[in-house]
């Protein structure tokens, strides 16, 4: 199986930005958020079960998930969230494995925003790479990107792992507080390390 990195980080930490830099090295990026979106798009694999479980009211006229309505329904209702995840998580995992089997390259990266929270991803990846920045930086970025209030961003962050919990799970860390740490050299250095590790592992497998 291809050597796999799990890339994670809190909201607005810069996961997509960092993943795009690895992609410039020709590394396959498998983004669980993008897959979650595609299975709930019109005709998406999750839509029949979502319609059955939650009803027509949660399906937009074009057959996609009514995201605003679902977000509201699950934000404070853990049971509804669990019902939704029981539908989506197995489909996301299947799609990730399909994409991983098709991926070319010496190693691949799964982008998993809730890797630390999920409990099941850790065993699937050889290394966990955390994109880290201060909470203030996260808040400022998401406020400006999403036009959210400070309170809205903080409410989302309160439902995610803390910065310390995430760092405790990290094998590797990218510092993405832009003022003092340019990303490219950090990505280049890790890319070189991952190439070495993936090659070693491959050698070990065939030995
Ligand atoms: P989410 O979890 O919300 O999807 P993310 O972790 O994928 O976010 P990005 O989308 O990469 O984070 O970055 C969040 C925002 O911050 C974007 O608008 C991005 O352009 C900006 N950003 C990320 N890193 C930097 C940086 N080093 N310098 C300036 N802006 C940055």
State pLDDT tens for residues 141-177: 999 999 999 999 999 999 899 999 999 999 999 999 9
Q: Which range has the worst mean pLDDT, 9-18, 108-117, 147-156, 176-185?
A: 176-185
Residues 55 and 72 in one domain: yes
Closest protein CA for atom 2 of ligand 1: 11
Q: Is the CB of 11 under 6 A from ligand 1?
A: yes
pLDDT score for 76: 82
Domain ranges, residue 90: 35-104
Residues 193 and 114 in one domain: yes
Burial 92-127 (b: 16+ CB within 10 A, else e): beebbeebbeebeebbbbbbbbebbebeebeebbbb
Q: Give the mean pLDDT of the chain.
A: 94
The count of structural domains within the chain is 2
Q: Is the CB of 141 under 6 A from ligand 1?
A: yes
Kindly report the CATH number assigned to the domain that includes residue 193: 3.40.50.300
Residues 122 and 199 in one domain: yes
Domain end among 73, 104, 135: 104
Residues 114 and 155 in one domain: yes
Flag whether pLDDT at 179 surpasses 80: no
Q: Is the CB of 12 under 6 A from ligand 1?
A: yes
Burial 7-34 (b: 16+ CB within 10 A, else e): bbbbbbbbbbbbbebbeeeebbbbbbee
pLDDT score for 207: 53
Residues 119 and 173 in one domain: yes
Q: Please enumerate, by residue number, every residue annotated as part of a binding site.
A: 12-17
Residues 49 and 78 in one domain: yes
Give the C-alpha separation, 139 to 152, whole Å: 9
Residues 93 and 133 in one domain: no
Q: Is the CB of 16 under 6 A from ligand 1?
A: yes
Domain end among 104, 139, 161: 104
pLDDT score for 75: 83
Residues 98 and 123 in one domain: no
* Predicted TM-score of the model (pTM): 0.93
pLDDT score for 206: 62
Q: Please enumerate, by residue number, every residue annotated as part of a binding site for ATP.
A: 12-17
Flag whether pLDDT at 102 surpasses 90: yes
Residues 130 and 161 in one domain: yes
User: For residues 205 and 68, which has the higher predicted lDDT (pLDDT)?
Assistant: 68
pLDDT score for 135: 96
């Amino acid at each position: 199986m291809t050597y796999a990195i799990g890339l994670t980080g809190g909201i607005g930490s810069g996961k997509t930005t960092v993943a795009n830099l690895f992609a410039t090295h020709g590394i396959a990026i498998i983004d669980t958020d993008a897959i979650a979106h595609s299975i709930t798009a019109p005709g998406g694999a999750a839509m029949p079960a979502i319609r059955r479980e939650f009803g027509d009211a949660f399906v937009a006229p074009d057959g996609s998930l009514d995201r605003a309505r679902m977000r509201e329904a699950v934000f404070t209702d853990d049971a509804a969230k669990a019902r939704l995840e029981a539908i989506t998580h197995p489909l996301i995992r299947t799609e990730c494995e399909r994409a991983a089997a098709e991926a070319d390259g010496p190693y691949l990266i799964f982008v998993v925003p809730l890797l630390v929270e999920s409990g099941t991803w850790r065993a699937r990846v050889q290394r966990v790479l955390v994109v880290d920045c201060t909470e203030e930086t996260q808040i400022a970025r998401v406020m400006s990107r999403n036009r959210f209030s400070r309170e809205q961003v903080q409410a989302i962050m309160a439902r995610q792992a803390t910065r310390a919990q995430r760092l405790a799970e990290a094998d590797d860390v990218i510092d993405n507080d832009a003022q003092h740490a340019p990303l490219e050299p950090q990505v280049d250095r890790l890319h070189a390390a991952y190439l070495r590790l993936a090659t070693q592992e491959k050698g070990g497998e065939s030995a």
